[in-house]
Amino acid sequence: MAEITYREALNRALDEEMARDERVFLIGEEVGEYDGAYKVSRGLLAKYGPRRVKDTPISELGFTGLGVGAAIAGLRPVVEWMTHNFALLALDQVVNNAAKLRQMSGGQLSVPIVFRGPNGPAEFLAAQHSQALGGYWMHVPGLKVVAPATPADAYGLLKSAIRDDNPVVMLEAELMYAWKGEVSDQEYTVPIGKARVAREGEDVTLITYSKPIRVVEEAADRLAEKGVRADVIDLRSLRPLDEETVVSSVWKTSRCVVVDEAWPMASPGVTVANLVNSRCFDALDAPVELVSGEDVPMPYNHRLELAAQPSVEKVIAAVARVLYREDL
Amino acid sequence: MKTELAHYPKEELMRMLTTMQTIRAFEEKAGMMYGLRKIGGFCHLYTGQEAVAGGAISALDLSKDYVVTAYRDHGLAIACGMDPKKAMAELFGKVTGCSRGKGGSMHLFDVEHHFLGGNGIVGAQIPVAAGVAFSQQYRESGGVTLCFFGDGAFHQGAVHETFNLGKIWDLPVVFIVENNQWGMGTNWKKVSAVDDFSVTAGAYGMKGYSCDGLDVLDVRATIEQAVADARLGWPSLIEARTYRYKGHSMSDPQKYRTREEIDEYRKRDAIQSFKFRLSEAKMLTEKEWDDLTRRIDAQIEEAVAFAEESPEPSLEELYTDVYA
Ligand SMILES: Cc1ncc(C[n+]2csc(CCOP(=O)(O)OP(=O)(O)O)c2C)c(N)n1
C-alpha cells in the first residue's frame, strides 16, 4: 500500500497499460512535451516516445475522430480531453461514431477507446469552463461512463476502461487530481458497473459520484454526530449503473438523497432518483431528494459559484427533509 | 517597408501609444492583483501584444464596426474603449464589472463599445464573428467585424468552416490571427502545416496579409486596407506575428521556452520601439511620455480602488441574467 494522488494513480495506470499492450497510445492537447495540462501524463513521452504519446493541435473534433478510426483499425487509444467542456466540440464523434459503429456494423466492429479528462467545476473558471457534463455521455447507449472518486478507483477503473472493448468515457476533476489515498502496490482492476459502498448506515442512503463524495462524506460525519447513520454509495460507474447496490441500500434505509453537481434537468442525479422511485417505491418513507448544481450557468464570482454547487449544508437539509426532522 | 509616421496625424499616433500603454499598465496591475488573490482562475495577460490591439482598433469606426475575440481579451476590450474600472472590477468578480462579476477575466463584454467578448472555448468566437458580420451586411449598416484568434485556435475546424462562409457570402469580416507563437505550451510551428498562416487565405479565395505584430503602424496600415476591402464585401485573413511575455495564464510555469527567447522579444518591445520612433521624429518629448505614463498609472490605480471598493453581486444574482 502506498498513499498516492489521484493524478499519480491515473499516471500509473496509463504507464502500466502502455507497457502491457503495444496497441495502447495516448493522444491529446499538451499530453507530451508539456506532460499534460494537469500533469496526468507526466513522464510518459520520455518513456514511450512520440509514436505513442501524441501531442495534437487544438482540434478536438479531429483528434477524437482520429482516435475512433484508430480504434476500429486495431489500436486502443486513450484520448485525453483537456477538459470535458472542450469535448463538446467532439460530441459528434463520440455520439455518432464511437457509440454507434459496433451496432451499425452488426457487430463487425469494436471501438476499444477511452476518452478521459477533468469534468465539473473547479474554481473561478466561469460558465464555459465549469460544467458537469457526465449526463451528456450517460445518455448514450453504446458508451460506458465511469467517474472514480478515489485514487484507488481511478487506477483500477482506468485500467479496466483501457482493456474494455467498448468506448469508455471517464470523468475526472481538476480539484480531485491532488486528492490522496491508499493504492495497493499490487496490480488490480476495478470492474466497470460496480458501485462502492463508502460507509454503512441504516438511517438514510446518500448516493453520489465523483468530486461531491467529499461533501457527502463530511455531511455523513456531521449527521453521525447527531446520531443519524448514513449509507454512502459512490456510484463509480454511471453507465452501466449498479442498480442492485442502490436498490438494496434504499430497501434497507427507506430514505434517499442523491447528490450530483450537474444541473438538475435530464441529469445523472434524476436518473438515479427515478431508479429509486421505481424500484424502491414500497420501501420509501419519504420522496427521494436531489441535491444538484443550481440550474444556472456557473458565475465567476466565488461566493456565487459556491452557492451554485452542492454543499454540506444543502445535503444535511435534504436529509432533514427525508427524515422529517427539524433538528439536524 | 515601414509605414511612415507622417502618414498619420499626431493625435492619432498619440492615441495608439496611449492605448498600448494603458493596456500594458492594466495588465501589469492585473498580474499583481492576481498574485494578491484579488483575481482567481484563468487570467490570460496581453502583455507583449499591445501593438495588435493598439493598431487594429484604431483603424475602426466603432459607431458601426464590431470586435470579437477569445479569452485573452483585456487588451482589445480596453482598446475598444471599455472603462478600465469596469474591466478591473470584472476581474475582481464585483457587481460593478462589465459582466456584473459573472464572467471574469475571460468573458469581458461591452456592448456599448461594440466589443462582443470574451470567448473561453478556443475557436468558438470565429463563426460568431462571421454572424455579427452577417448581421451588418443584412442590416446594411456599413460596418465590419474584426475577428481575433490565436495561432493555436487556427487548427479548429470552425476556423476553416468560417473562412469559407465568409467568402461565399461576401461577409464584411476581417480574420486576424494573433500569432504570439505559443498556444499554451505548444510552439505554433509544431502543430501547423504551413509556416505562414496568411497563405491559407488563398485556398478560400481571400486575400491574405502578414504584418509585424510588434509594429503598431504596420498593424494599423494592414488592418486599414483589410477593413476597406471588407466594407466592399471582401473578407481577408491577416497574420500578425507577435509575442506574449507572460505565461499562457497566470498558472503557467513556462518550462517550454527559454528566458533568452523572451528577452529577445522584450528587446523589440512594441511600446518602446514606437516611443523611440516618435521621439526620434521629435513628436514626443521625455516630459510628454512621463506625463502620459503618470496619467495612465493614476487611471489604473483608480480602477483598482474602484474594484476594491465595489460590492460583490448578491446571492440573488445567481438566478438573474440567465434568460432575457
Ligand atoms: C476548445 C478548447 N480546447 C482547449 C482549450 C484550452 N486552451 C485554452 S487556451 C489554449 C491555447 C490557445 O492558444 P492560442 O489560440 O494560440 O491563443 P493564445 O492563448 O496564445 O492567445 C488552450 C489549449 C480551450 N479553452 N478550448
B94 lines ligand 1 (CB under 6 A): no
The predicted pLDDT at position B3 comes to 84
**Global ipTM:** 0.96
Contact (Cβ atoms closer than 8 angstroms) between residue B244 and residue B75: no
Helix (H) or strand (E) holding A302: helix A302-307
Does A188 map to a domain?
no
Contact (Cβ atoms closer than 8 angstroms) between residue B108 and residue B77: yes
Pairing of the two strands B145-150 and A168-172: unpaired
The predicted pLDDT at position A137 comes to 98
CA-to-CA distance for B303 and B26, rounded, in angstroms? 9
Looking at this protein, which amino acid is placed at residue A49? G
Mutational pocket test of ligand 1: of B74, B122, B254, the residue with most ligand atoms within 8 Å of the beta carbon? B122
Does A271 map to a domain?
yes
Helix (H) or strand (E) holding A114: strand A114-118
Report the Cα B142 to chain-centroid distance in Å. 22
Helix (H) or strand (E) holding A256: strand A256-259
Residue B283 burial class via C-beta count within 10 angstroms: exposed 0-12, middle 13-18, buried 19 and up? middle
Closest residue to B40, CB basis, from A33, A37, A302 = A302
- A202 Cα–ligand 1 center, Å: 49
Domain ranges of chain B: 5-309
| Predicted confidence (pLDDT) at residue B1 exceeds the cutoff of 80 | no
Cα angle vertex B169, ends B167, B172, to 5°? Answer: 75
Q: Which residues constitute the domain of residue A251?
A: 196-322
Last residue of a domain, one of A117, A150, A183: A183
Looking at this protein, which amino acid is placed at residue B26? F
Q: Find where cell 466603432 sits.
A: B62
Q: Is B183 on the interface with A (CB under 8 A)?
A: yes
Helix (H) or strand (E) holding B149: strand B145-150
Helices (H), A131-233: 134-138, 151-163, 213-225
Q: Is residue A176 domain-shared with residue A317, that is, in the same domain?
A: no
Phi-psi sector, B170: left (phi>0), alpha (psi -120 to 50), beta: left
CA-to-CA distance for A324 and A67, rounded, in angstroms? 51
The predicted pLDDT at position B251 comes to 86
Q: Cα torsion for A240, A242, A247, A249, to the nearest 10°? A: -150
Helix (H) or strand (E) holding A6: helix A6-20
| Predicted confidence (pLDDT) at residue B54 exceeds the cutoff of 80 | yes
Looking at this protein, which amino acid is placed at residue A243? E
Mean pLDDT over B47-56 rounds to 98
The architecture CATH gives domain B5-309: 3-Layer(aba) Sandwich (3.40)
CA-to-CA distance for A91 and A133, rounded, in angstroms? 11
> Could you read off the pLDDT of B198-250 as tens digits, one per residue?
999 999 999 999 999 999 999 999 999 999 999 999 999 999 999 999 999 99
CA-to-CA distance for A65 and B61, rounded, in angstroms? 42
Pairing of the two strands A144-146 and A237-239: antiparallel
CB atoms within 10 A of CB B2: 10
CB contact under 8 A, A58 and B313: no
Does A257 map to a domain?
yes
User: How many domains is chain A built from?
Assistant: 2
Protein residue closest via CA to atom 19 of ligand 1 = B183
Q: Is residue A37 domain-shared with residue A158, that is, in the same domain?
A: yes
From A17, A60, A80, A174, the catalytic residue: A60
The predicted pLDDT at position A216 comes to 98
Q: How confident is the model at residue B40 (pLDDT cuts 50, 70, 90)?
A: very high
**Which one, of B139, B131, B128, B12, lies nearest residue B70 by Cα?**
B128
Residue-averaged pLDDT of chain B: 97
Does A327 map to a domain?
no
CB contact under 8 A, A57 and B317: no
In chain B, helix, strand, coil percent, each to 5? 50, 10, 40
Q: Is residue A232 domain-shared with residue A261, that is, in the same domain?
A: yes
Exposure of A234 in the CB half-sphere (CA atoms within 13 A): 23
The dihedrals phi and psi of B179, each to the nearest 5 degrees, come to: -85, 90
The predicted pLDDT at position A4 comes to 98
CB atoms within 10 A of CB B185: 21
Helices B125-138 + B157-168 axis angle, to 10: 10
The predicted pLDDT at position B58 comes to 98
Q: Is residue A97 domain-shared with residue A165, that is, in the same domain?
A: yes
> Could you read off the pLDDT of A155-178 as tens digits, one per residue?
999 999 999 999 999 999 999 999
The predicted pLDDT at position A6 comes to 98
Q: Is residue A177 domain-shared with residue A207, that is, in the same domain?
A: no
Ligand 1 atom closest to the CA of B42, numbered from 1: 8
CB atoms within 10 A of CB A163: 17
Mean pLDDT over B76-103 rounds to 98
Q: How confident is the model at residue B307 (pLDDT cuts 50, 70, 90)?
A: very high
Last residue of a domain, one of A154, A183, A212: A183
DSSP B110: B
**In a mutagenesis test of the A interface, which of B257, B318, B322 is the best target, namely the one with the most A β-carbons within 10 Å?**
B318
CA-to-CA distance for B263 and A282, rounded, in angstroms? 72
**Which one, of B42, B40, B39, B45, lies nearest residue B26 by Cα?**
B45
**Which one, of A108, A109, A104, A40, lies nearest residue A78 by Cα?**
A40
Query: Does residue A60 carry a catalytic annotation?
Result: yes
Q: Is B199 on the interface with A (CB under 8 A)?
A: no
The predicted pLDDT at position A1 comes to 85
Q: Is residue A28 domain-shared with residue A173, that is, in the same domain?
A: yes
- Provide the shortest C-alpha distance from residue A180 to chain B (in Å): 22
Helix (H) or strand (E) holding B263: helix B259-267
Q: Is B103 on the interface with A (CB under 8 A)?
A: yes
Last residue of a domain, one of A183, A206, A232: A183
**In a mutagenesis test of the A interface, which of B33, B92, B102, B317 is the best target, namely the one with the most A β-carbons within 10 Å?**
B102
Mean pLDDT over B77-104 rounds to 98
DSSP A298: P
Gyration radius from chain B CA atoms:
19
Does A190 map to a domain?
no
**Which one, of B278, B261, B267, B270, lies nearest residue B213 by Cα?**
B270
CB contact under 8 A, A300 and B190: no
> Could you read off the pLDDT of B144-158 as tens digits, one per residue?
999 999 999 999 999
Residue B8 burial class via C-beta count within 10 angstroms: exposed 0-12, middle 13-18, buried 19 and up? middle
Contact (Cβ atoms closer than 8 angstroms) between residue A168 and residue A156: no
The predicted pLDDT at position A81 comes to 98
Least CA distance to B150: which residue of chain A? Answer: A58
B114 lines ligand 1 (CB under 6 A): no
Mean pLDDT over B284-307 rounds to 98
**What CATH number corresponds to the domain at position A19?**
3.40.50.970
Report the Cα B204 to chain-centroid distance in Å. 25
Q: Per the structure block, which three cell numbers stand in for A242? A: 449498479
Least CA distance to B314: which residue of chain A? Answer: A304
Least CA distance to A124: which residue of chain B? Answer: B41
Residue B282 burial class via C-beta count within 10 angstroms: exposed 0-12, middle 13-18, buried 19 and up? exposed
In chain A, helix, strand, coil percent, each to 5? 40, 20, 45
Q: Per the structure block, which three cell numbers stand in for B124? A: 468558438
Q: Per the structure block, which three cell numbers stand in for B53? A: 490591439
CB atoms within 10 A of CB B193: 8
**What CATH number corresponds to the domain at position A247?**
3.40.50.920
Residues in chain A where the model's pLDDT stays below 70: none
